[in-house]
A and B are shown apart, each in its own frame.
Chain A
Amino acid sequence: MVSQKVTIINPSGIHARPAGELAKVAKLCNSEVMLLVKDRALNAKSVLNLMAAAVRCGTEITIQCSGETEKEDLKRIVEAIKSGLGEAGEAYEGNQS
């Protein structure tokens, strides 16, 4: 099992659209992908779980991958979150203001 901490940069947090994007990326991974938010563990492949967790902008979360391809998968997820989950432009504006 490997894990890494990352901060959510989406201005409105992980709402419907970024949650959908994250779940999509997670589904491409062979390993089990969990998000640790505060005291909760979420299945990253479930968009409903992600949305229900209401992860806000600026929250630091831990990504946990376990499986044969855990290293590549972890890298993939971290990159997706860092790049704003399809909301890069909006995230940039959010940071400026």
Chain B
Amino acid sequence: MKEIRVSKKASEGIAVGRAFLVERDILVPVEYAVEEVQKEGECKRFKQALLDSAGELRALSEKDEVFAAHLEIVKDETLFDGVCQKIMDEGKNAEKAFWEIMEDYIAVFQSMEDEYMRERAADILDVRNRIMEHLKGRKKSFLSDEGDKVILVAENLYPSDTAFLDNPRVLGFITQKGSMTSHISIMAKNRGVPALVGAEGILEEAKQDDLIILDAGEGRILINPDEGTCRLYREKKRQEALRAEQYLSSLSLPACTKDGRRVKVYGNAGNLEEVKRAVAAGMEGVGLFRSEFLYMEKNHFPTEEEQYLVYREGARLCKEGITIRTLDIGGDKKLPYFSFEEEENPFLGWRAIRISLAMREVFKAQLKAILRAGSEGKVRIMFPMLISLEEWEKAMAVIEECKEELKREGKAYKSHIPVGMMIETPAAVLLAEEFAKKADFFSIGTNDLTQYILAIDRGNKKMASQYDYFHPAVLSAVQMAIQAAHNEGIEAAMCGEMASDERAVPMLLQMGLDEFSIAPSQYPKVKYLIQNSFFHPHE
């Protein structure tokens, strides 16, 4: 039995199943004839794949010199010329022409006497695969619906891999790289699929079909466990199932404490499908719509119209409305079509509202889409990462400008939309009294707030044990924010991990939190906890 400990819990829960290694094999391309008139376009298509690969490699080469050599291969003119010649003279498609040329080179390397040089074929293969991926789009291994239950093991999973999560055979996943805030991690949490990311060594230790116990809550991975351990985990799972049943028993009753205080329990969502999941789970609203996923899944900044359709649908689905957080990128979230400057401290750098205020047109497209959706349902606007009243005023001025433009364009919009803000910086906590006079609501984002208050990078493995939202300073910040909100008669919500932590829920109720915005999979548990807690325990 081998054990791997992981600190990045994407989504809690226990899963026991066989390892399914997700390999990104590049398959031999299909050959097809290219018409005379299309030949030039085919060359251009290949050129684009080279340019895209070069762009990636340029960034990589800053960290690892071997990629500088790969970059030189991509830029090799004889490669481009050779492929174009095959396209023009032989009428082959770009994939096939490119494949043939690379096969020749690989054969040369593999036949070399010198072992060191023979291994260089790996460089060529790596470059070939990269270019091929750009030429064809990313390829993933296929998992049929029939067969044993599996735990996915991959180097990394991408937004396009989310289809895996819908496969009934998939019990959970483990990735060697990746972050807890990546798209796939958040999807896993929303669906209640156990998942660990950043599991170093997993690809070396786990072989195809190995029996794996994934205890995501404890951050443990056991490979080929003995019978005793298996029994232990079967019992643990049984207990979990019993608890889940208990949670479900009072799901249809309102979210009321034992002493009669009613609170809101809303969902977190990153796209419409997740909004539907929240509604299907019984939630009546969405307290955090992470609009950045709309941006991350596209290959361009989504237009006003594209966003409008999504927000409108979201508003229609949610009886009690949807809180749309404006674009929150930067930090660890990047866009495929926009290059961010390398930063020493991305979490302290150009991100969230700072980007929106600097890229006015992008910001306006989003705000106009939200204002328009407001005319057809309940929507709320929420700004992320604010640190000053000046930022607030600037953002509000952009909203006014958007209204003027919509009026001129003759488009329907709602002029009085609640506008609130995330409380996730120490500055926002310290200025909460002032902000509460302006904002219509607060939403405390504990993931970033904890990181900023404690000055601990939430992805840092060595500090993981001290990244703790039960630290008295974080608790005090939460209390301050709620108090400031109530002093001005506005509501305080919480949309971070803490809001669904069973150790935190009773305490947050006593602090007076008005709204819990959580992953839909956590809804039964949080609701049960609320129903069994007190607002004023001693009265």
Contacts and interface: CB of A to CB of B under 8 A. Distances in A.
B109 A56 contact: no
A3 interface: no
Interface string B93-115: 00000000000010011001010
Given A15-B120, A16-B123, A20-B69, A48 B76 contact: yes
Contacts of B68: 17, 20
A52 interface: yes
A31 to B, nearest CB: 15
B78 A43 contact: yes
B69 A52 contact: no
Given A13-B114, A13-B117, A51-B120, A20 B72 contact: yes
B120 A16 contact: yes
B116 A15 contact: yes
A47 B72 contact: yes
A51 B78 contact: no
Contacts of A46: 76-79
B65 interface: yes
Contact of A19 (B72, B78, B114): B72
Contacts of A13: 114, 116-117
Interface in B66-94: 66, 68-73, 75-79
A61 to B, nearest CB: 16
Most B CB atoms within 10 A — which of A12, A19, A52, A56?
Answer: A52
22 contacts: A15-B117, A16-B69, A17-B66, A17-B69, A20-B69, A20-B73, A23-B72, A46-B76, A46-B77, A46-B78, A47-B75, A47-B76, A48-B73, A48-B78, A48-B79, A51-B105, A51-B120, A51-B124, A52-B105, A54-B114, A54-B117, A56-B114
A45 B77 contact: yes
Interface string A1-25: 0000000000011011101100110
Given A15-B117, A20-B71, A51-B105, 12 more contacts: A13-B114, A15-B116, A16-B66, A16-B70, A16-B120, A24-B72, A43-B78, A45-B78, A47-B72, A47-B75, A48-B124, A54-B112
Nearest to A55: B117
A6 B373 CA distance: 72
Interface residues of A, number: 19
A73 B105 CA distance: 28
A19 B109 contact: no
A20 B120 CA distance: 13
Interface of B: 65-66, 68-73, 75-79, 105, 108-109, 112, 114, 116-117, 120, 123-124
Interface string A24-44: 100000000000000000010
B21 to A, nearest CB: 28
A52 B72 CA distance: 14
A48 B105 CA distance: 8
Contacts of A54: 109, 112, 114, 117
Nearest to A16: B69
Contacts of B70: 16
A89 to B, nearest CB: 13
Contacts of B65: 17
Contacts, number: 60
A69 interface: no
Contacts of A20: 68-69, 71-73
Contacts of A56: 114
A69 B123 CA distance: 33
Contact of A23 (B66, B76, B105): B76
Contacts of B116: 12-13, 15
Contacts of B109: 51-52, 54
Most A CB atoms within 10 A — which of B72, B114, B116, B124?
Answer: B72
A41 B72 CA distance: 20
Nearest to A22: B72
B50 to A, nearest CB: 13
B427 to A, nearest CB: 47
Contacts of A47: 69, 72-73, 75-76
Contacts of A12: 116
Most A CB atoms within 10 A — which of B71, B76, B105, B116?
Answer: B76
Contacts of B77: 45-46
B111 to A, nearest CB: 10
The 10 closest A-B pairs by CB, nearest first: A20-B72, A20-B69, A16-B69, A46-B78, A47-B72, A54-B117, A52-B108, A16-B123, A17-B69, A48-B76
B95 to A, nearest CB: 18
A3 B241 CA distance: 79
Most B CB atoms within 10 A — which of A12, A17, A19, A51?
Answer: A51
Contacts of A19: 69, 72
Most B CB atoms within 10 A — which of A15, A17, A45, A47?
Answer: A47
A15 B116 CA distance: 9
A19 B75 CA distance: 13
A7 B379 CA distance: 73
A15 B283 CA distance: 60
A19 to B, nearest CB: 7
A23 B77 CA distance: 11
Nearest to A45: B77
Contacts of B120: 15-16, 51
A45 B81 CA distance: 13
Interface string A44-80: 0111110110101000000000000000000000000
A54 B66 CA distance: 17
